[in-house]
Chains A and B, each alone.
Chain A
Amino acid sequence: MTARARPGASARRRRTATAVRVLPALLLVCLALAGPWLTPHPVDTPVTGPYAPPGAGTPLGGDQLGRDVLSRLLAGGRELVVSSLVVALLVTGGAAVLGAVGALRPAVGRLVERTADLLMLLPAVLGILLVTLSWPDGGRLAVIAAAVGLGVPYAVRLAVSAAAPVAASGYVEAAAAGGERLWHLVVRDVLPNLRATLLALFGLRFVAAVYVVATAGFLQVGPQPPAADWALMIRENGAGILLDPWAVLAPSAAIGLLAMSVNLAAAALAPRTGREAVTAR
């Protein structure tokens, strides 16, 4: 009588909704990765006038040297996306393991938290400069190292508090009393039940990583001209923003959209029902 949608149909609809929310991030990341092969013009030779407004062949106009903005936009995302994804993965993974171990072994947990408290005092820009200047040949690796070092302390505090109730739950106690090793407790009992938290954390850390990597690019400690890079484009073309606004707006929008879409995807992938339900004690 008041039959709602059949369960099969509702499950299918839920899957569709998830796919729709994951799609933008997937498209953007793929586009940024494949971008360098799709450029209509070479990224390092002028094809039009400096700060030329959009015209035939150059839909987003030219930059300060007359290079095609669209081509540079397509080519300039790969490194940023790859670095940010690597940073977000390392930060989330590292924090998850440290957090789970910290929750299971209170002595380790106290040490981890106090260390994180100390590292958090370091301002981000200072941290980047410290690492990149003391490791001048590091390039991207130095930026990634700095971003990971800056991100883990924040993430680990969150991971420890999220893991604490799981570590106190009946099934972790049962596994510990049953003879499981610490590593098994972390990987099989604690982390799978933190999926929702960790995915949300991944989204947040990705945004933070984009921010740190872009800051590095803007400060020119990462990629150097004439390389195409979104952050570098914003810096280089700032002077001509009134002549060809697209040269600044397009890379800015790309960075913003990337951050938002990855967060949306992470939220969509987080489990909502049933299995993540954790009963403490």
Chain B
Amino acid sequence: MSHRPGRDRDWTTGLPDAPAARVTGLTVTSAAGRHLVREAGLTLRPGRLVALTGPSGSGKTTLLRALTGLLPPGTARTAGHVEVLGHDVLALPQRELRALRRDRLAHVGQDPASGLNPWMRVDSLVRELAADRSTDPVALLDEVRLPDGARLSGRRPGALSGGQQRRVALARALARRPDVLLLDEPTAGLHPGLRDEIGDLLQHLAREHRLAIAFSCHDAGLVGRIADDVVRLGAAVPHRPVTAAGRPPAPPGAGATGATGADGMAGTAAAADTTDTFDTAGASGAAGTAGTASKTSTASTTGTSDTANTTGVPLLAVRDVSVTFGRGAAPVLRDVGLAVAPGTAVGVVGASGCGKTTLARVVVGLQAVTAGSIALDGVPLRPGPRGRAREQRRRVQLVTQNPLGALNPSRTVGDTVGRPLRLHRRRPARQVPARVTELLEQVGLDPEYAGRYPHELSGGQRQRVAVARALAAEPDVLICDEITSALDGGTAEAIMDLLGGLRARHGPALVLISHDLPLVADRTDTVTVLDAGRVVESGRTADVFTAPAHPATAALLSRAVTGR
């Protein structure tokens, strides 16, 4: 990628090391008077990668937005300076700020889909902002490690997976050849191999093209590998111990007890049990999961064929499901089967874009199927939410990949979490607030959050509210679609330990959809591998991961190993 020559770069000519952007003592306060960012400092230099880390809710997103000169509505800078390319962006007139943002600054938000016009095709989206209109969009897509660019460039964002959308948004940002690149969680929702490739790409951009890059990230490994400087933001609000800043994901025992705390639910004993298996698995890698699987006596006996051949009736059975978007298009899912026995954990893994999310939507009835059937306890479910009884809908809950749109912006967190309790009559009305407090504590949120609205929460906090809402319905099957991709390492471990603990206490069976293979390897009994909409392999997690029979599984595994 060649950088635009002849650009007015007064800040590089004289002083090669002059900072491209500098933030000093920045404090941003919300309308209610809470500090979103407190006394933050940051220096970006051309050719250097700066990582922003910190627990969710510590102000990473707000700080990146401050660099673009656009603070979230309702918030104000109460102290400090933000200087980008020699301008104080928070005091710059609109016109100049726009020119600066158009030509020199690129920002990719946490929710890449919301930045993509759903009616534009990928190639126009990429070309729209390009400094050079003759740019070949396919080459740019290649650059952001989106192979198949030629095939994807005719699609609209709605037909892309979460990971693909993220890379299109990145390609769009790079197309205009900025001087400063700001990325909010650029690797969330990508599988480990891809995460590393994007990391390498960022490093390459910084080194070769002298870009000043700031990115927020909660993947400690990636930050340690590619970042030149790390800025650690502290929690702006007091947190439960589980979310305490910078807790390394190493001692899972601490995470488990912290997550379940002394709240009386999900007893510590159960959490300790999962901790135990985690240690085993962690010690000896994938092979160790053999112990996990055999120890959990309720492991489903799904064979290696894609349809279930359990001895009893599985709790949830998906048979030969096919889904096609639009007429004549290639199917997104083809003859997919999945069986979940009561109390087990089932993993669904596959590369980005292989149909994992579509499968989740089919199971909860949000996506109509072209063929196939879904049964709960042997009773067939209608292939759409409307035909299903309320009790059937309660028993299968989904936590989606994108936490930003998952909460009603007009309702408080307490209202959102309390609603399933009332709807499904899980608790008498008087006990609802107490149960909401309990659920929020379980997912590691301060009960004080019950009074807040979703826009006051960070992405990770919203994801935890979504988990609490799903748990409130007391489901029999909980489907988690990449729920940890928006969480920092410590919180992700704690949430997974919480779910594992609940499951061990006759809680919901889990369907973990993920590309994070270690996560699936440690916490599931059986696993199904999807590739391009087909089940290529399924069986006991230990068997599949120790002796992968299909090249796609092997590829996923090798990427996971090199990615760590």
By a beta-carbon cutoff of 8 Å, the part of chain A in contact with chain B is: 1-8, 10-11, 169-180, 188-189, 192-193, 195, 272-281
B339-365 CB mask vs A (1 if < 8 Å, else 0) is 000000000000000000000000011
A5, A175, A278: the one contacting B409 at CB < 8 Å is A278
Chain B residues positioned under 8 Å from A11 (CB to CB): 31
Residues of A within 8 A of B158 (CB): 281
Q: Is the CB of A281 within 8 A of B76?
A: no
Partner of B33, one of A4, A8, A275: A8
Contacts of A7 in B (CB 8 A): 29-33, 76, 78
For residue B458, CB closer than 8 A to chain A, the reply is no
A177 near B366: Cβ-Cβ < 8 Å: yes
**B residues whose Cβ falls under 8 Å from a Cβ of A:** 29-33, 72-74, 76-81, 91, 111, 113-114, 118, 158, 364-366, 385, 390-391, 393-394, 397-398, 400, 402, 404-411, 419-420, 423-424, 453, 455-456, 466, 469, 473
**New A-B pairs, 18, CB < 8 Å, besides A2-B81, A279-B111, A280-B405:** A2-B79, A7-B32, A170-B405, A175-B408, A175-B419, A176-B366, A177-B364, A177-B393, A179-B424, A195-B410, A274-B453, A275-B410, A275-B455, A277-B73, A277-B409, A278-B405, A279-B114, A281-B405
- Closest A residue to B473 by beta carbon equals A178
Within 8 Å CB of B453, what residues of A? Answer: 274-275
Q: Is the CB of B78 within 8 A of A177?
A: no
Cβ 8 A contact of A179, one of B80, B91, B423: B423
* B397 and A281 contacting across the interface, CB-CB below 8 Å: no
For the complex of A and B, 5 pairs with smallest distance between CB atoms? A170-B405, A192-B410, A273-B73, A179-B393, A273-B74
Residues of A within 8 A of B364 (CB): 177
| C-alpha gap A64/B72 in the complex (Å) | 59
Interface of A is mostly: helix
Cβ A171 vs Cβ B33 within 8 A: no
Contacts of A189 in B (CB 8 A): 408
Q: How far is the CB of A277 from chain B (nearest CB, A)?
A: 6
* B406 and A170 contacting across the interface, CB-CB below 8 Å: yes
Contact status B409-A193, CB under 8 Å? yes
Q: Using CB atoms, name the residue of chain A closest to B32.
A: A7
Task: Quote the shortest CB–CB distance from A162 to chain B (angstroms).
Answer: 14
Most interface-central of A10, A180, A275 (chain B CB within 10 A):
A275
Give the chain B neighbours of A172 by CB distance below 8 A: 408
By the criterion CB–CB under 8 Å, are A10 and B76 in contact?
A: yes
Q: Is the CB of B31 within 8 A of A193?
A: no
Contact B409 A170 (CB under 8 A): no
Q: Specify which chain B residues have a CB less than 8 angstroms from the CB of A281 in the assembled complex.
A: 113-114, 158, 402, 405
A146 to B114, CA, bound (A): 42
A176 CB contacts on chain B under 8 angstroms: 366, 385
The residues of B that contact A10 with a CB separation of less than 8 Å are 31, 76
C-alpha spacing A175/B455, complex, angstroms? 18
Q: Give Cα A8 to B76, complex, Å.
A: 11
Q: Which residue of A lies closest to B395 (CB)?
A: A179
Contact, CB under 8 Å: A6 / B78: yes
Could you write out 9 A-B pairs with CB less than 8 Å apart? A1-B80, A2-B80, A2-B81, A4-B77, A4-B78, A174-B469, A179-B394, A274-B74, A274-B456
With A177-B393, A178-B420 in contact, do A273 and B366 touch (Cβ < 8 Å)?
A: no
Min distance, Cβ B199 to any Cβ of chain A, angstroms:
27
- Report A-chain residues with C-beta under 8 Å of the C-beta of B385: 176-177
Q: Given A11-B31, A274-B73, A279-B114, are A177 and B409 neighbors across the interface (CB < 8 Å)?
A: no
For the complex, what is the distance from the CA of A170 to the CA of B72, rounded to whole Å?
A: 21
Q: Is the CB of B397 within 8 A of A178?
A: yes
Docked pose: A158 CA to B113 CA in angstroms: 25
Q: Tell me if B111 and A178 are in contact (CB < 8 A).
A: no
Q: How far is the CA of A7 from the CA of B79 in the complex (A)?
A: 12
CB pair B409–A178 under 8 Å, yes or no, is: no
On whether the beta carbons of A169 and B405 are closer than 8 Å, the reply is yes
| Contact pick for B31, options A2, A3, A188, A273, CB 8 Å | A273
Q: How far is the CB of B391 from chain A (nearest CB, A)?
A: 8
Report A15 CB to chain B, min CB distance, Å: 11
Bound-state Cα–Cα, A280 to B409, Å: 12
Set A174, A178, A276: member contacting B394, Cβ < 8 A: A178
Whether the Cβ atoms of B406 and A171 lie closer than 8 Å is yes
**A275 CA to B455 CA, complexed, in Å:** 6
Tell me the bound Cα distance from A276 to B455 in angstroms.
Answer: 9
Q: State the Cβ distance, A171 to closest chain B Cβ, in Å.
A: 4
Residues of B with C-beta under 8 A to A275: 409-410, 453, 455
User: Contacts of A175 on B, CB cut-off 8 Å?
Assistant: 408, 419
Q: Once the chains bind, are B456 and A3 in contact (CB under 8 Å)?
A: no
A277 touches B394 (CB 8 A): no
Q: B408 and A171: CB pair below 8 A?
A: yes
In the assembly, what is the distance between CA of A175 and CA of B393, in Å? 10
Alpha-carbon distance A116/B400, docked complex (angstroms) = 36
Interface pair B423/A180, CB less than 8 Å apart:
yes
* Contact between B406 and A179, CB atoms less than 8 A apart: no
Distance between Cα atoms of A249 and B446 in the complex (Å): 62
Give the distance to chain B from A273, nearest Cβ to Cβ, in Å. Answer: 4
B467 shortest CB reach to chain A, Å: 12
Tell me which of B113, B366, B420 contacts A173 (CB under 8 A): B366
Given contacts A179-B393, A281-B113, contact A3 B406 (CB under 8 A): no
B432 → chain A, closest Cβ, in Å?
Answer: 16
Contacting residues, chain B, for A179 (C-beta < 8 A): 390-391, 393-394, 423-424
Q: How far is the CA of A216 from the CA of B522 in the complex (A)?
A: 75
For residue B294, give the distance in angstroms from its CB to the closest CB of chain A. Answer: 35
Smallest CB gap from A105: residue in B: B386
Docked pose: A10 CA to B77 CA in angstroms: 12
Name the CB-closest residue of B to A272.
Answer: B73
Instruction: Select from chain A the residue with minimum beta-carbon distance to B402.
Output: A170
Name the contact of A177 in the complex, choosing from B365, B391, B411, B424 (C-beta under 8 A): B365
Specify which chain B residues have a CB less than 8 angstroms from the CB of A3 in the assembled complex.
78-79
Nearest chain B CB to A274 CB, angstrom units: 4
B157 CB to nearest chain A CB (Å) = 9
Nearest residue, chain A, Cβ from B469: A174
How many whole Å from B38's CB to the nearest CB in chain A? 14
In the bound assembly, the distance between CA atoms of A274 and B407 in angstroms comes to 13
| Contact across chains for B400 and A170 when beta carbons are under 8 A apart | yes
Closest A residue by C-beta to B113: A281
A172 CA / B366 CA spacing, docked (Å): 11
Is A280 within 8 A of B402, CB to CB?
Answer: no
Residues from chain B with a CB closer than 8 A to the CB of A170 are 400, 402, 404-407
State how many angstroms separate the Cβ of B15 from the closest Cβ of chain A.
25
What CA separation (Å) do A3 and B79 show in the bound complex? 5
Instruction: Name the contact of A2 in the complex, choosing from B73, B77, B406, B456 (C-beta under 8 A).
Output: B77
When distances are taken between beta carbons in the complex, the residues of chain A under 8 Å from B366 are 173, 176-177
Given A2-B79, A3-B78, A280-B405: A188 in contact with B411 (beta carbons within 8 A):
yes
**A11 to B221, alpha carbons, bound, how many Å?**
42
Complexed CA–CA distance, A279 and B109 (Å): 12
**Which residues from A are CB-within-8-Å of B73?**
272-274, 277
A279: which B residues are within 8 A, CB to CB? 111, 114, 402, 404-405
Shortest CB-to-CB span from B422 to chain A, Å, is: 11
* Min CB gap A225→B, angstroms: 49
Question: Within the assembled complex, what's the spacing in Å between the Cα atoms of A175 and B419?
Answer: 9
* Contact B31 A174, beta carbon cutoff 8 Å: no
Q: Which residues of B contact A188 (CB under 8 A)?
A: 408, 411
Minimal beta-carbon separation of B498 from chain A (angstroms): 20
Distance (whole angstroms) from the CB of B76 to the closest CB of chain A: 6
**Cα distance, A11 to B419, chains bound together (Å):** 31
List B contacts of A195 (CB < 8 A). 410
Distance to closest chain B CB from A7 (angstroms): 5
